[in-house]
Amino acid sequence: MHILIIGAGGMIGRKLAATLGRSGSLGGHAITRMTLADVTAPPVPAGVSGSVEALAADISESGAAEALAARRADVIFHLAAIVSGEAERNFDLGYRVNLDGTRALLEAIRREGTRQAYVPRFVFSSSIAVYGSPFPDPIPDDYVLAPLTSYGVQKAISELLLADYSRRGFIDGVGIRLPTIVIRPGAPNAAASGFFSGILREPLAGQRAVLPVEETVKHWLASPRSAVKFLIHAATLDTSALGVRRTLTMPGVAATVADQIAALSRAAGPQAADLIDRRRDEVIEKIVDGWPKSFAPERATQLGFVAETTVDELIEVYLDEDAPGASG
């Protein structure tokens, strides 16, 4: 089996590559080849059996998507994206990468299939940003998509493309709407949601963190470990169970910022919570105000997707796998 991960240089992409590399198989099939692609050549995980190639490729640039499709991977994980805050600040870049790049990739796969039969499993990482207020709490699976950010619009359009290209038989697509990933290891990124990780990660390391919103803000969270498991499960899922609705909302933890701070205090003591500085940011507040708070992801849970159920578990995953000095 040949696996292609686009966006393999990102945090989730690196973890996915490492997990697949260690297991050596996917859905009972041996992985004989992996191609890891990102705008700069991503790192090759240690201990991988089989052939692994890392390459630089920007799917929004002319010819890049065609070159990747020509490799005819059996499973394609499309994780590449300009994240939410950056996509809002840079309108042109967000649409060029998140929408035009995705369409170019799907078109390249379709054209590759016209030359010789080729229908790969295509796993697309979408986002709960496809929903926008007003909405019920929790949000059911059949609720309308009405994003309030450019990033959410780009993901919602891509979901429609995924469904149509699957319906036409060009790909065998599965979309997964990822919760906000907490706790993200390493340095903060440009996502508007980054503070959800920052207010836990930095205090756990004895460093100060900034909270730009009120503690009453509630959001939908899952760990990096769960995100990787979602992707792998989506790659092996019997898609006949999906019908024409190819994208699923993933399970997660519905928690307020206050819930996060309480869990931080339980894990590291009240002195850790004292390291959080309340500093309102109206831009981030406006973005987050339009995000969903919780879901009832019945389709995904019925199909075997699972995640954490408490913020305490999210912290445990971080301390076990990603905190400085963790075993990994």
Residues carrying an active site annotation: 151
* Dihedral sign for Cα atoms in the order 58, 61, 65, 66: negative
The total number of residues shown for the chain amounts to: 328
Backbone angles phi, psi at 193, to 5 degrees: -85, 0
Helices (H), ranges, 42-149: 64-69, 84-89, 91-94, 102-115
Tokens (6 digits) for 239: 């898609």
Best CA proximity match to 41, nearest among 72, 61, 13, 75: 13
Radius of gyration of the chain from Cα atoms? 19
Q: Which residues contact 5 (CB under 8 A, 6 or more apart)?
A: 13, 16, 17, 34, 35, 36, 37, 77, 79
Tokens (6 digits) for 40: 């700069």
Neighbours of 160 (CB within 10 A): 13
CA distance 33 to 36: 10
Q: Are 18 and 45 in contact (CB under 8 A)?
A: yes
Report how far Cα 277 is from the mean position of its chain's Cα atoms. Answer: 28
**Which 3 state secondary structure label does DSSP give 125?**
strand
E strands, the chain, in order? 2-6, 25-26, 29-30, 33-38, 51-56, 75-78, 121-127, 139-140, 172-178, 180-181, 209-211, 218-222, 247-249, 253-256, 276-278, 295-296
